[in-house]
Structure 1
Amino acid sequence: MVMNTYLLRLCSYHQPRRERVIENVLANRQTVATLFWAQHYGILTWLGARRRLSRAQFDQEVAVLIGAGLLERVGADEIKLTAAGVSYEESQPSPYQPHFYPWYWLANTQTVQRRLLLGFQVASELAYHNRYYAPLAVPFTDQEAVRGWFRHFKSAQFVQEVYAELHLLAGALANEDQRLAAALVNRLIGHDQAGWTLNQLADRLQLSLADALVLDHDLWLAVTAFSRRTTGPLASLLRPLIAPAPISRSCQTTVQLARQGLELVRIAERRRLKLGTVREHLLTAAILTPQQLDWAQLLPAKQRKFLDHHFRGDVIHWRFQGWSGDENSDFYYFRLYQIYKEYSQNES
């Protein structure tokens, strides 16, 4: 197996990191625990960077890096960079630095990629009046989305509009990084154009495979970000995939009710949700959109004082111990206070 060194970027020499957190971040397996630790490690923006990553594949990639002496396992479930890993990273040419990873929450970039590639293929073959071609193999839902989009937008100007929009998009990407524009244009599948594979992208842009993976995810985030504020057939094809906010609509509803002063039990009753789900919503919002919360309401001063008395020092070293007899409630406030403390320190 070829050594894929992108994982080294998500590890640290000074801080052992939970192996499954890194895996879950890359594969977009979101839980409150994953989001919390990802935020603490500073790798939250990598959420969903490799949605197709399987556990077996991840474990194999880690094993290769450990075998090469670049990573080491600490305890049963943590990994860290070795001195050799640090030296390896420092000896490499400047890695590709993503421009759009802070937009990690915008969309499933795999779906964005599939629909844009198929949509452009349809337009390209239409430009050559070719009705007999093998369309890109994508899931049925993507096929139907592109089919409905084509029926809606097909007109005498359709091909010109798609190519004009693509030209503007490539220009916008070039303003950020010429390699993004080159990747977009050459990843496209069209009439007599197969589109670059990841290996070809790495070779043509003189990148390592690790950097090619980072750039490719950055590319589709960039395309999604520009589609939020542009018009045209391609933007319309992608817009239904774009999330309006980092947290789900259901999570937003819970936050709004909490802002109105409703107790968590009342929110659960009104929304017909489990109390645990309401707590998860608020913890998720605390991690992803802390600046939008009313912390004085979620954590009143009296409660903060109590928690501060029981949990001191670096939040990462805190060990949970219940205090009220209701461990679920206690852990919710324990985690919420951890998030609050880290957010407050980062803001100061």
Structure 2
Amino acid sequence: MEAADLLQVLDRKQPRRLRVIENLLRGRRTVSTLYWGQRYHLLPLLDANKHLDHGALTAPAQQLAASGLVTLDSEADQLLLTPTGQQRQAGAYYQPQTSADWLNLDLGAARQRLLLAVQVTSQYAHSTSRYYPLATDLVTRRVVRQWFHLEKGPQLAAALLTAMVQSLQQLPVQTAEVMTDLLTGYQHPGLTVSQVASEQQQTAWEIQLRQRDGITQIARDARQADHPLHGLLHPLWRSPVTRSAQATLYAVEQGGSLEQVAAQRHVKANTVKEHLLEAAILSPVATFPYDRLLPQRVRADFAAALNADIDSWQFAQLPEDLRTRYDFFYFRLYAIWRGRGMMDDGATHS
């Protein structure tokens, strides 16, 4: 991620911690990272760059500060856009249009399956049996092999072409071009992200955002049962909540107390709380049992003590009697509830 890319995930009013952004991109699923990722409206970028080196955003941040585009508080590890930075941010930069689904799709697996399936189908259509398949993991090769043996036939290539064209036509022209440039097929070795970035005069990160849009749009369309990639991509849609957290949430929904659920699942009570906070952040508001875990009397107690901007709330600054009555779990759950636009009339407010 270059300085120009980092600029796009910053804000003029909300100081954002560099370490949170880094951990989010690297897929560090701590409650703190998820919570602040939600507060920053950057959760779709969870696990978007799992190979990002620790500290890799420091140099881009310093470059932005030296250019007068951000103020950098090194001690607090926070960045804030300057007016000049806000103007620069408003310039030409790709704005993804499918990011609402990124958490619900295993994009890494979808990318590998799609690229290999296109290559195999293209070579098959030209009766080519000797070629070097793309380097993928064993699971991808096995799944694509199974898919191909089920789908192969004289109409496969045409059906796949038609389906992909229909998907790419729903995206900006440049994004569709990026997607096709990155594909590998018969007499088409495919370009690398760096090569496409150079051709398009954009950053590699911007090209990856375009590719994520393309893959997600194809996967969206592949949810249709008659789509040629249905069997390959449809299984990759999933809940962003981990299975362990889902199991904890289910046990709570069945009526168990936090202590009972911890004993039942053979985990610590704090682990139960972490699972529930993860589910509260990543689940649709309507599906989480806020009324059970955060009843009105608890909300009223916190509401009476917390009136400032949510980002400034600190558990340690609560009145002592409130900290004695409720531990950090309820404080954070209330912040999540309020942060998602909920109020005591039961409606969401933007």
Q: TM-score range by the shorter chain?
A: 0.7 to 0.9
Match of 1:306 in 2: 301
Give per-residue Cα distances to partners, 1:208-263, cap 9 Å, x unaligned.
555323212222222222223343442312233321x2323332332233223221
Paired residue type of 1:273: V
CA contact (8 A) 1:199 1:209 kept: yes
Residues 110, 60 of structure 1: alpha-carbon distance in 2 compared, 3 angstrom cutoff: farther
Paired residue type of 1:169: M
The correspondence of residues 236-251 of structure 1 with structure 2, limited to 5 A, is 236-243=231-238, 245-251=239-245
Q: Structure 1 unaligned runs (5+)?
A: none
TM superposition score normalised by structure 2: 0.86
Secondary structure in structure 1 of the residue aligned to 2:80: strand
Residues 44, 299 of structure 1: alpha-carbon distance in 2 compared, 3 angstrom cutoff: same
Deviation at 1:326? 9.0
Match of 1:52 in 2: 51
CA distance in 2: counterparts of 1:85 and 1:136, whole angstroms: 41
Deviation at 1:120? 1.4
The correspondence of residues 126-165 of structure 1 with structure 2, limited to 5 A, is 126-150=124-148, 152-153=149-150, 155-157=152-154, 160-165=155-160
Match of 2:107 in 1: 109
CA distance in 2: counterparts of 1:242 and 1:24, whole angstroms: 23
CA contact (8 A) 1:112 1:238 kept: yes
CA distance in 2: counterparts of 1:320 and 1:236, whole angstroms: 48
Match of 1:224 in 2: 219
Deviation at 1:41? 1.4
Match of 1:341 in 2: 338
Deviation at 1:162? 4.1
Residues 305, 86 of structure 1: alpha-carbon distance in 2 compared, 3 angstrom cutoff: closer
TM superposition score normalised by structure 1: 0.86
Give per-residue Cα distances to partners, 1:42-63, cap 9 Å, x unaligned.
2222223333322243333334
Deviation at 1:331? 0.8
User: Does structure 1 residue 265 correspond to structure 2 residue 259?
Assistant: yes
Secondary structure in structure 1 of the residue aligned to 2:170: helix
CA contact (8 A) 2:102 2:216 kept: yes
Secondary structure in structure 2 of the residue aligned to 1:55: coil
Could you tell me which of 249, 259, 262 is aligned with 1:255? 249
Q: Structure 2 unaligned runs (5+)?
A: none
Give per-residue Cα distances to partners, 1:111-133, cap 9 Å, x unaligned.
22122111211121122222221
CA distance in 2: counterparts of 1:76 and 1:299, whole angstroms: 31
CA distance in 2: counterparts of 1:49 and 1:37, whole angstroms: 16
Aligned length: 341
- Range with bigger deviation, 284-293 or 163-172: 163-172
The correspondence of residues 1-348 of structure 1 with structure 2, limited to 5 A, is 3-74=2-73, 75-90=75-90, 92-93=91-92, 95-150=93-148, 152-153=149-150, 155-157=152-154, 160-202=155-197, 207=202, 209-243=204-238, 245-289=239-283, 290-321=285-316, 330-343=327-340, 344=342, 347-348=348-349
Deviation at 1:35? 1.3
Secondary structure in structure 2 of the residue aligned to 1:278: helix
Secondary structure in structure 1 of the residue aligned to 2:104: coil
**Aligned Cα root-mean-square deviation (Å):** 2.8
Paired residue type of 1:224: A
Residues 172, 3 of structure 1: alpha-carbon distance in 2 compared, 3 angstrom cutoff: closer
Give per-residue Cα distances to partners, 1:63-115, cap 9 Å, x unaligned.
4333433333213311222333223223x33x222110011212332322122
Calculate percent identity across the aligned residue pairs: 32
Secondary structure in structure 1 of the residue aligned to 2:14: coil
CA contact (8 A) 1:324 1:330 kept: no
Paired residue type of 1:190: G
- Range with bigger deviation, 306-315 or 26-35: 306-315
CA distance in 2: counterparts of 1:11 and 1:337, whole angstroms: 25
Give per-residue Cα distances to partners, 1:177-203, cap 9 Å, x unaligned.
333433333321011102233244345
CA distance in 2: counterparts of 1:155 and 1:3, whole angstroms: 42
